[in-house]
Amino acid sequence: DVVMTQSPLSLPVTLGQPASISCTSSQSLVFSDGNTYLNWFQQRPGQSPRRLIYKASKRDSGVPDRFSGSGSGTDFTLKISRVEAEDVGVYYCMQGTHWPRTFGQGTKLEIK
């Protein structure tokens, strides 16, 4: 199975400051069609997960542009340019290239 490793697991951030989460996969996530199926999800307290980023860097409709995804192959990053109070929650990466699908452990973002 592809192991997805996130860091850090806990991320205290001051409002208005940037934040960055790393996700590393144990195998390349490039699919045979040339796409890289790496997704980022946000789960706010008490809510279902919401997808923010797909194909490593494509932002979903309605997602603020302060969120961005980057990376290729096995190394990926989610960046928040300026953290707002509504960004509190747990962030997960998930690979959609290989079976079985696998998630990272989650990164808990809190306001410092």
Binding-site ranges for another protein (CB under 8 A): 1, 31, 35, 37, 39, 41, 43, 48-51, 54-55, 60, 90, 92, 94, 96-97, 99-106
Phi, psi of 111 (to 5 degrees): -90, 130
Q: How far is the CB of 106 from another protein (least distance, A)?
A: 4
Task: Point out which residues pair with 36 in neighbouring strands.
Answer: 30
80 vs 90, beta carbon nearer another protein? 90
Q: How far is the CB of 17 from another protein (least distance, A)?
A: 25
Q: How far is the CB of 56 from another protein (least distance, A)?
A: 10
CA 53 to chain centre: 7
Rg for the chain (alpha carbons), in Å? Answer: 13
Q: Distance between CA atoms of 4 and 74, rounded to whole angstroms?
A: 9
